Amino acid sequence: QPGKRCMSYNGGLQHGKYKPKGWAIRFLEHINRSFPHPRHRINNSALDKTPVANFADCLFSHVPAHVHLVVAEWGSMGNFNHLHLSRIEQVARNLLKLPSKPVVV
The whole-model pTM stands at 0.68
For the chain, 105 residues long, give each residue's pLDDT as a single digit of tens: 444 555 444 444 555 555 667 788 888 889 889 888 888 888 878 777 777 878 788 888 888 888 888 888 777 666 777 788 888 899 899 999 999 999 998
CA distances from 67 to 34, 39, 71 (A): 18, 13, 11
Radius of gyration of the chain (CA): 15
Q: Helices marked H in the chain — which ranges?
A: 5-8, 23-34, 52-57, 78-81, 85-96
Delimit the domains of the chain by residue range. 1-42, 45-105
Residue 96 has a pLDDT of 92
